[in-house]
Amino acid sequence: MLRIYAILTGQSAGVISSVFRIILMPLSWVYGLAMMARNYFYDRKILTSLNLDCGVISVGNIVAGGTGKTPIVIWLAKHFRNSGYRVAIILRGYKRKAKSETGIVSDGTKTLLSPEESGDEAFMIALELPEIPVLVSKNRYKAGIEAIRKWKTQVIILDDGFQHQQLKRDLDIVVIDSTRPFGNGQMLPAGILREPKRSLQRVDLLLLTHTNSISNLSQIRSKIETIAGQKTIFESQYHPTKLYKLGDPQDLSLESLKNQRILLVCGIGNPRTFVHTVEGYQPSHLELMAFSDHYQYRRKDILRIQRRASIMKADIIVTTQKDEQKLRLYADQLLILVLAIEVRFLPEHGRSIKDMLNLYARTCLPL
């Protein structure tokens, strides 16, 4: 899995990587043409976007896999809630076991669906934001109508909404992982681009994540500015906030990671950022077991994890909040710790983005 990821993100060179990409290039051309045609139809109003009677903010990306959208969604929701607005979050609910077209994961007072019925990210957000309604649906417009009807929602935040042009938004935010902005530069499936890079020209705001993980940030910014034009770009980093045992919310010291032999287990889009985060606590030895994004763990995977931990003589097994609920079923078989993170902006960027959001709220949101 990591080998394929390295090829698609441009981190792996050599003959095998080149052959792999060449084989997939015809499919990428077909996919790219389809995306360009779709964007053209929306740009020319041949296809029209539907309007909701509230503010709509999309947080999305231009590549497949993790860029760090979900912590940004949580940060935005907290900002608007703390500013006195009624907020709802809508996700597609990737890989959820749907019983209905629209699912209410949380009504802002309690969680109503299981992790399997919600999807991992939606359930995680519902736990993190218990006072904010969270919905899942492939039809974001219908879900938005439901949110307005039930809670008189003033602002809806779309998680992974950049490609969902069926719903009109007032603010289009794209999140870019600064450690691999465009992968190898190719469209899916030969690369990780979900649409052409020039699509960034239609965004309102760009957020760079993991900026503390690279040394050539100014070059990355310059490259993005060349493609996107004069867009506002903010920089952010992810920092651990707490560490706790799976199934036990009591906090442990983050310093307990220091000088330990650690096995990392995750099914996220960009596992290397997880590695970089834990490396900051100076473990004596670190190994990674990376599964595919949104992976549903099974009994045989738990046995593999146990064997790997035994072979490397691991002191601690650590996973992410995204993986937490899918591993919870095996909490009695596996001693595992969960590392929680949050997004933080540089001080001057944090003030600027809050000023911009407050201006948006005054001019665009219903009272």
Instruction: Say yes or no: 98 and 212 in one domain.
Output: yes
Cβ within 8 Å of residue 67, ≥6 positions away:
61, 175, 176, 177, 209, 269, 270
Report residue 221 CA to chain centroid gap.
20
Instruction: Say yes or no: 194 and 300 in one domain.
Output: no
Tell me the pLDDT tens digit for each residue of 267-313: 998 898 999 999 999 999 999 999 999 899 999 999 999 999 999 99
> Quick check: is 306 in a domain?
yes
Cβ within 8 Å of residue 245, ≥6 positions away:
252, 335, 336, 337, 338
Instruction: Say yes or no: 232 and 248 in one domain.
Output: no
What's the CATH code of the domain at 351? 3.40.50.300
Instruction: Say yes or no: 206 and 245 in one domain.
Output: no
Instruction: Say yes or no: 298 and 225 in one domain.
Output: no
Closest by CA to 186, choosing from 332, 40, 63, 325, is: 63
Instruction: Say yes or no: 186 and 230 in one domain.
Output: yes
Q: Give the phi and the psi of residue 357 in degrees, each rounded to 5.
A: -70, -35
Cα(214)–Cα(62) distance, integer angstroms? 20
Q: CA of 38: how far to CAs of 47, 72, 188, 199, in Å? A: 8, 27, 16, 12
Domain span holding position 64: 55-238+344-364
> Quick check: is 268 in a domain?
yes
> Quick check: is 62 in a domain?
yes
Instruction: Say yes or no: 67 and 215 in one domain.
Output: yes
Does residue 174 come out as left (phi exceeding 0), alpha (psi in the -120 to 50 range) or beta?
Answer: beta
pLDDT of residue 246: 92
Instruction: Say yes or no: 71 and 153 in one domain.
Output: yes
Q: What is the largest CA-CA distance in the chain?
A: 60
Tell me the pLDDT tens digit for each residue of 113-166: 999 999 999 999 999 999 999 999 999 999 999 999 999 999 999 999 999 999
Three-class secondary structure of residue 282 per DSSP: coil
pLDDT of residue 18: 81
Per the structure, the count of domains in the chain is: 2
Instruction: Say yes or no: 226 and 354 in one domain.
Output: yes
Positions of the chain with pLDDT lower than 50, given as ranges: none
Token pair 């077209």 in the structure block, residue: 101
Instruction: Say yes or no: 182 and 291 in one domain.
Output: no
Residue 129 · residue 74 · CB < 8 Å: yes
> Quick check: is 88 in a domain?
yes
Q: Give the phi and the psi of residue 231 in degrees, each rounded to 5.
A: -105, 150
Instruction: Say yes or no: 173 and 312 in one domain.
Output: no
What's the CATH code of the domain at 294? 3.40.50
pLDDT of residue 12: 65
